[in-house]
Amino acid sequence: MSVGIASTDFHFPKQQGKYKGKVREVYDFGDKLVMIATDRISAFDVVLPRPIPHKGQVLNQIAAIFLKATADIVPNWLEAVPHPNVSIGKKCEPFAVEMVVRGYLTGHAWREYKAGKRVICGCPMPDGLKEHDKFPTPIITPTTKAKEGHDEDISKEEIIKQGIVSVEDWKQLETYTFALYERGTQMAAERGLILVDTKYEFGKFNGKIHLIDEIHTPDSSRYFYRDTYADLQAKGLPQKQLSKEFVREWLISEGFQGKGGQQVPLMTDEKVSSITERYIELFENITGQKFEKDDYSHKLASIKSSIENALNL
């Protein structure tokens, strides 16, 4: 099996810096950023010990498809995709919040609800809901963008009070978030899916708000299958999900939730291969396109040369 890309260690002419996220590695060229989607996988804010072959390609290509499909709603950072794992675009000044939008009572919102809370990030949640029920209208539950550790829930009021985002910018972010979620919902429905929740990140370039990072990928979003949703809800059964949730569920079943003293379970070749296949399934279901596996024999070299050619280095 392919080994997968755990990291890159490139040094380019004109490179001004490098940032390493949980999954992506970002090379700074002043007014442009080069974002490489590695095959690392994280869960519970922990990077797991083995990369997942083709995962980076899946995320990069899904993000590119949806950024192109939403460019009429909001300008975005992306300018070129010179390699299946590489995106190049404008260097924006990011807002220090993630715009999480939820159409359904799932995941973190459900855990809060089950604990008795009826307000999340300043948004009221009606009484009498079950897990995975649809909200009357989608809600935005922002989180602070943590450089390390866990992102924290925060309300719109607190964001404005702390001066993290101005009132004017917040209104625009809110408008963009709901419009993007509506478009994502429409595109998911065309594929027989429900876009349950997702997150968007924004920044400014030359004073104008742009959409940045990835959108509508299985790492940043949760999908349900549309044809089985109502029946499963009526029977009180778990929803069939199209997201990274299957990785979290496996870790939980092995006694790992990212807490102190817990050990990441052994990732066998079989487990790694099964996660790869699930990500490819996610790609094909979400996009409706056939996934073409990129060759790993000279992958790092081809990534490097694609960046050099794209930037005329």
CA-based nearest residue to 62, from 92, 87, 40: 87
Sequence-ordered strand ranges (E) for 121-259: 123-124, 134-140, 143-144, 193-205, 208-212, 221-225, 241-242
Give me the mean pLDDT over the 72-76 stretch. 98
Q: How confident is the model at residue 150 (pLDDT cuts 50, 70, 90)?
A: low
pLDDT single digits (tens) 259-296: 888 999 999 999 999 999 999 999 999 999 999 999 99
Give me the mean pLDDT over the 159-183 stretch. 97
Name the amino acid, one letter, at 22. Answer: K
Q: How confident is the model at residue 149 (pLDDT cuts 50, 70, 90)?
A: low
Whether the predicted pLDDT of 1 surpasses 60: no
Give me the mean pLDDT over the 115-139 stretch. 97
Domain 17-93+268-311 belongs to what topology? Phosphorylase Kinase; domain 1 (3.30.200)
Which residue matches tokens 């999480």?
A: 100
pLDDT single digits (tens) 213-230: 999 998 899 999 999 999
Domain boundaries, the chain: 17-93+268-311, 95-242
Report how many helices (DSSP H) and strands (DSSP E) the chain contains, helices first. Answer: 8, 17
- At a CB cut-off of 8 Å and minimum separation 6, what does 279 contact? 52, 54, 55, 58, 218
The tokens describing 278, both together, are: 């699930």
- At a CB cut-off of 8 Å and minimum separation 6, what does 237 contact? none
Whether the predicted pLDDT of 60 surpasses 70: yes
Sequence-ordered strand ranges (E) for 29-109: 32-37, 42-43, 46-47, 78-83, 86-90, 93-94, 97-104
Which residue matches tokens 């992958």?
A: 299
| Class of the CATH-defined domain 95-242 | alpha beta
Task: Answer whether 278's CB lies under 8 Å from 246's CB.
Answer: yes
pTM: 0.91
Whether the predicted pLDDT of 148 surpasses 80: no
